[in-house]
Structure 1
Amino acid sequence: MNFISRIIVSLCLISLSTASVEAQYREAYQAYLDLEKIIIQFEPTVQAHTKDKILSDYPKLKTWGALTYPAITIAVTTAKDAQEYDQLIEDLKQNTSIQYVGEYFKRDKNSQLGILNQVLVQLKEAADYHLLTSIAEVHQITRIVPHKMKGLYALHLDKHSTLSPIDLAIQLHQSKQFKYAEPNYLMNPIVTTIDPLYGRQWAINNTGTTIQYSGTLDADMDVDDAWAITTGAPHVRIAVLDSGVDTLHPDLMPNLVPGYSATGDNSRGYPSFNYSSDGHGTCCAGIIAAKGNNNIGITGVAYDCKIIPIKVFTYQNVPGLGVLAYSTAAWMSDAITWAWQTGQADVLSNSWGLTDQFIPLLPGPGDTSTVNAAIIQAYANGRNGKGSLLFFSSGNDGPDPPIWPSRAPDAIAVNATSMCDERKVNGSCDGESWEGNWGANLELGAPGVKIATTDALGSNGYDGGDYEYTFNGTSAACPNAAAVMALILSVDSSLTAERARAIIDTTAERVGGYAYTTNDTYGTWSNELGYGRVNAFLAVSMAQQIALNTIDVHTIAHFEVYPNPSQGTVFVSHQLTTGTPLSLTLYSTLGQVLLEQEITTANQTQLDLQNLPNGAYYLSLKTSRTTVTKKLSLVR
């Protein structure tokens, strides 16, 4: 039985006698009470600096940090026993600026939960709503808020309510008048996975260790942080248009849906397996959505999304040329069209393309209209008119510009970055001698060097095993970026293709020290990495903001923080003209507010962060309508 279940059993499933309920509740309370932490919720009008001043007056509070969602403060206490803990709570409740104080429970450091000021109640019938209004009158409930789940309501309490959330939940549960009632818990889910090769996946969480090729700490897509928000939704589908996907691979099977072969071999997306290179599509699929937490292999970036395997090319051995991939414009356009029309793909990952010298071989000759038209239609009409997102690798023949069709207007061209947050070149820290294509029409960068992923089973793959530890190229970067897009759509599937594209571009980190000086559609742009290296956490966080506030993504495209990394002096520029007033808030990675400042100058503000230690921080630009967040690194 898990920890939350034990709490519920201990606190809720107890006898009908009020006295007995109270006695058994107190016994469970003592068993699980965490004396080190409490939850504090201030009145909405209280500013951050005022909160700090208030809390500093309580000697039993050692430190504290504010969360943005939910809007609460978690404080660390020095209480030695339950009596001191209870007294501290009562003292805090006397402060007129504090709306609610809640307990924390724990079993161990990985099993903790706090009690928020809400009780979730599921009605048996819609007609039972009057029961809630009666309860609200009796127990001084401040609000009854309907949930998106039918028949579920949140009862909001404060310090003046006659019962605590736990006591009220027990009472309502024991009344038998509702399907269930329970406090709303604040939890700290463990979002990294237990798969044995996870430690090699620097693109997800770069620790800078030797098993990850001694890269730069945190030079990753912050996927593990994004997992606290979403690990992907099963209704989001990513089509992998490639050599096919090994549909028998145990790390992929749980996330596979029926596929398609544009080559006409009726394989439904299964590879030909004549050559080791036929494992290419299986490697791409694993990066996107290899199943997480199944105790085998690796973890995909969007490991709860679904993969549509589509075969768009086959490998063949031509004398004098060796083993090469072959396709046709008809296959390509057929595969793209089937993906969004029949396969209902939200995202299309395409780790392929043609260099300019091969374009004349397409029907025409030199005519790329067939495939271009398929891309245009998918971007305009996919996802029931919202538009599907199409990612393409930029190519591995730098310094040439991005190959076709990645540079098409409705395609997203992805270059490769190393584990040191630099554009992949001959001489980058990974030690490999190839270079990703860059320049005009490049959109993003994503990890593409020595990526651990799934391989075709047994001798069918690259290395004669089930996993490939060093999958390379913009072929690896493309599915990494496509998977982050799947996470964005998992947060808000109503986004149009344009808005979703704006999110991934706007939240990309401007890494590598390149000149992001060109103003483009979604902010500043560089030749080397386009809008920057993809950041999953910032992307899904912004998707949440847009879902809640319905903001115009174009108004946040020019929120920039520079230099980044910084030695301590930071400039913030913006072009926001609506939703004033503006303010900046700097957070630690633990959510503690370190700085809060009103913006009084037009378009640019200077911050002095010399007193802060090296490390990662989050800087939020706030208006009355929304909050936009950028990641900031201090390095000296």
Structure 2
Amino acid sequence: MEKLWSFPILVLLFWCNLSGQETPRYAAGQLLVKFLPETAPASEQAVAEDRFQNPALDALGQKYGWPDIRKIGPLAPRKKQPANDWQRTFLLQAGAEVDLDQMLADYEQTGLFEFVERNYGGSSAGSPVELTPDDPFYGRQWSHYNDGTFFLGTPVIDADIDLDEAWEVETGDPSIIVAVLDNGVNYNHPEFQGRIWNNAGEIPNNGIDDDSDGYTDDVLGWDFAYTDNDPDDAYGHGTNVAGIATASGNNGIGYAGVDWNCTLMPLKILDDNDFGFYTWWAEAIYFAVDHGARVLNMSVGGSGFSSTLEDAVDYAHLNGTTVVVSMMNTNSNTPYYPAAYQSTIAVGSTSPDDTRTVPFPWSASSGSNYGAHIDVVAPGNYMYGLHYLNNNNYDTYWAGTSQATPLVTGLCALLLAQDPSLGPEDLRTILHDTAEDQVGLPSEDTPGFDIYYGYGRINALEALSPTIQSTSDRQWEEMKLFPNPLPSGQKVVSVQLPDNDSGEYLLSLSTADGRLIRQSRQALFGTTEVEVGALAPGTYFLQIEQGARRFRAALAVH
């Protein structure tokens, strides 16, 4: 039995502003719950019956008017996913009038859930400005090549990402799918001709879910905001972002995107008022990963932390999909999500003079956000691009960390065209290692990593240069694990790195045949205990990575 879902778009939102600090917006009457592994119900039955068949939860269901139940996550475990993880998260939709604080507390008190949280939301990270200059179109793209003559701001020669030289090395490959999760995309624009993703498993407009992925007639993407198969843009932000990353180059029209040949997958996760719930964002991530996207651009953010959204981001990372996100634009160190999650690549914005953008032209109080979670910066101010309604209008520019993010996304796509074996952490390392440091104000852009510029402004030529050592060529170093063999049932192993190295590392646990089963980030100091979970008898490999340092050891479980 199939259950059709059409949640109302006009959901009540609650938020307030106290002392200038943004309070996260969330949907009235909606909770996200993730069951513990040992308490997870049969997801299909729960969705079909709107009941979890648990006495405590049935009592709460009756109390709150039998909320609608909807599973959040892949329709089936098509990609790598921790066992049972894909079917443990659900959206509960009660009436808008319920006391959500009490409902949240009631569900938490059952002890059945890994987390219970509100369905938060967020918006894009850029705003438009429009004028009609006389310059040639490529001359407006100071981010690609800055000769100091750009007519807005105070341009500085070479305050760019050296794209004109980088294109001599790589211009992209159609096998690399880039998903843009945004307001939608003007996918009929000539700059995207022949470049839009096509779902080969779906027959257009027959009203049937031919590939059984849960989405009917999803031929070229999906609209998660309005639950249909038309991810068109009715706001403008998504088309600008997609054009910066992927507009065709050297074709005699418009502008040149970073990657001229990749395949573009448009996914609409913001409504026509530039707002989207995290459930839309999470479902779009699962969709993109399961349909082969290698890079996700998310020029969006919300200030509410969500484990549901983090699970989706981690799912992408686990499956080799890189998620590139914007830091947002409040000129503060307020963490926004998904930028503040460990698995994403977080991007800040610079202006034509290489300084951190403060302010953007649309608000005196705006500015590129900063914090310990930032990775790199890229040009994001005065970014001309494609129009969402008029294919002949090239006179609109946007400004924000939203516009910096697709430059990084496009560069990741070029790197994957050059070496498809690169994973998210490989790409992060290349971006860090090849970024230009100390290009901004000395008070902010200090040597090495800093909270304003991260590792620096990206440089496409350096990243793509054949003189840069491929991460796949780096040698593995040995480390010690004990006890080894590990007794079956013991969930913790001690790790000792050479010379008692310390710092934050990416930990990856794989089976002998290379199947990734667990991944996390953890601070290691000397000898440190690491959680590996309950492992069946056999041989496993634990890999630990930090920048150019890579450690690996076999772990036997008896």
Residues 1:474 and 1:303: Cα distance change in structure 2 (over 3 Å): same
Bigger proportion of residues as helix: 1
**Residue 405 of structure 1: how far off its partner (Å):** 1.5
- Partner Cα distance (2:466, 2:454) in 1: 19
Q: Does the 8 A contact of 1:236 with 1:306 survive in 2?
A: yes
Residues 1:279 and 1:442: Cα distance change in structure 2 (over 3 Å): same
Of 293, 297, 307, the match for 1:349: 297
Q: Does the 8 A contact of 2:360 with 2:399 survive in 1?
A: no
Deviates more, 1:470-479 or 1:208-217: 208-217
Of 373, 393, 397, the match for 1:466: 393
1:528 aligns with 2:452: yes
Of 323, 326, 346, the match for 1:413: 346
Question: What residue in structure 2 maps to residue 76 of structure 1?
Answer: none
Of 429, 433, 437, the match for 1:502: 429
1:396 aligns with 2:339: no
- Partner Cα distance (2:326, 2:178) in 1: 15
Q: Does the 8 A contact of 1:492 with 1:544 survive in 2?
A: no
- Partner Cα distance (1:553, 1:419) in 2: 40
TM-score by length of 1: 0.48
**Residue 432 of structure 1: how far off its partner (Å):** 7.0
2:252 partner SS:
coil
Question: What residue in structure 1 maps to residue 185 of structure 2?
Answer: 245
Q: Does the 8 A contact of 2:267 with 2:284 survive in 1?
A: yes
Question: What residue in structure 2 maps to residue 147 of structure 1?
Answer: none
**Residue 269 of structure 1: how far off its partner (Å):** 1.8
1:251 partner SS:
helix
1:331 aligns with 2:280: yes
**Residue 468 of structure 1: how far off its partner (Å):** 4.5
- Partner Cα distance (2:152, 2:268) in 1: 31
Question: What residue in structure 2 maps to residue 426 of structure 1?
Answer: 359
- Partner Cα distance (1:245, 1:513) in 2: 36
**Residue 544 of structure 1: how far off its partner (Å):** 6.0
Of 403, 414, 436, the match for 2:368: 436
Of 284, 291, 299, the match for 2:256: 299
- Partner Cα distance (2:433, 2:251) in 1: 33
**Residue 437 of structure 1: how far off its partner (Å):** 0.7
- Partner Cα distance (1:516, 1:454) in 2: 33
2:301 partner SS:
coil
The CA deviation string for residues 181-218 of structure 1, in whole angstroms up to 9 with x for no partner, is: xxxxxxxxxxxxxx951111000010110446550001
Superposed, which structure 2 residues align to 1:379-390 within 5 Å? 379-381=317-319, 387-390=320-323
Residues 1:505 and 1:553: Cα distance change in structure 2 (over 3 Å): farther
Q: Unaligned 5+ residue runs, structure 1?
A: 1-194, 317-324, 360-366, 382-386, 555-576, 578-625, 627-636
- Partner Cα distance (1:512, 1:423) in 2: 7
Question: What residue in structure 2 maps to residue 102 of structure 1?
Answer: none
Calculate the aligned-residue CA RMSD, in Å. Answer: 2.8
Question: What residue in structure 2 maps to residue 208 of structure 1?
Answer: 148
**Residue 471 of structure 1: how far off its partner (Å):** 1.2
Of 307, 310, 316, the match for 1:378: 316
- Partner Cα distance (1:212, 1:376) in 2: 39
Of 403, 407, 432, the match for 1:476: 403
Question: What residue in structure 2 maps to residue 512 of structure 1?
Answer: 440
Question: What residue in structure 1 maps to residue 228 of structure 2?
Answer: 266
Q: Unaligned 5+ residue runs, structure 2?
A: 1-134, 198-219, 478-498, 500-547, 549-558
Counterpart AA for 2:227: D
Residues 1:349 and 1:518: Cα distance change in structure 2 (over 3 Å): same
2:194 partner SS:
helix
The CA deviation string for residues 421-448 of structure 1, in whole angstroms up to 9 with x for no partner, is: 11111399x9976311112211110100
Question: What residue in structure 2 maps to residue 199 of structure 1?
Answer: 139
Of 550, 554, 559, the match for 2:473: 550
Residues 1:409 and 1:226: Cα distance change in structure 2 (over 3 Å): same
Question: What residue in structure 2 maps to residue 489 of structure 1?
Answer: 416
> Is the radius of gyration larger for structure 1 or structure 2?
1
Counterpart AA for 2:326: S
- Partner Cα distance (1:553, 1:474) in 2: 36
Residues 1:205 and 1:315: Cα distance change in structure 2 (over 3 Å): same
- Partner Cα distance (1:467, 1:517) in 2: 33
Counterpart AA for 2:275: Y
Superposed, which structure 2 residues align to 1:120-139 within 5 Å? none
Q: Does the 8 A contact of 1:288 with 1:302 survive in 2?
A: yes
2:241 partner SS:
helix
Residues 1:514 and 1:236: Cα distance change in structure 2 (over 3 Å): farther
The CA deviation string for residues 368-387 of structure 1, in whole angstroms up to 9 with x for no partner, is: 11110000010111xxxxx1
Question: What residue in structure 1 maps to residue 166 of structure 2?
Answer: 226
Residues 1:419 and 1:514: Cα distance change in structure 2 (over 3 Å): same
Q: Percent identity?
A: 35
TM-score by length of 2: 0.54
Question: What residue in structure 1 maps to residue 176 of structure 2?
Answer: 236
The CA deviation string for residues 520-540 of structure 1, in whole angstroms up to 9 with x for no partner, is: xxxx31111111111111111
1:348 partner SS:
strand
Q: Does the 8 A contact of 1:339 with 1:345 survive in 2?
A: yes
Superposed, which structure 2 residues align to 1:152-171 within 5 Å? none
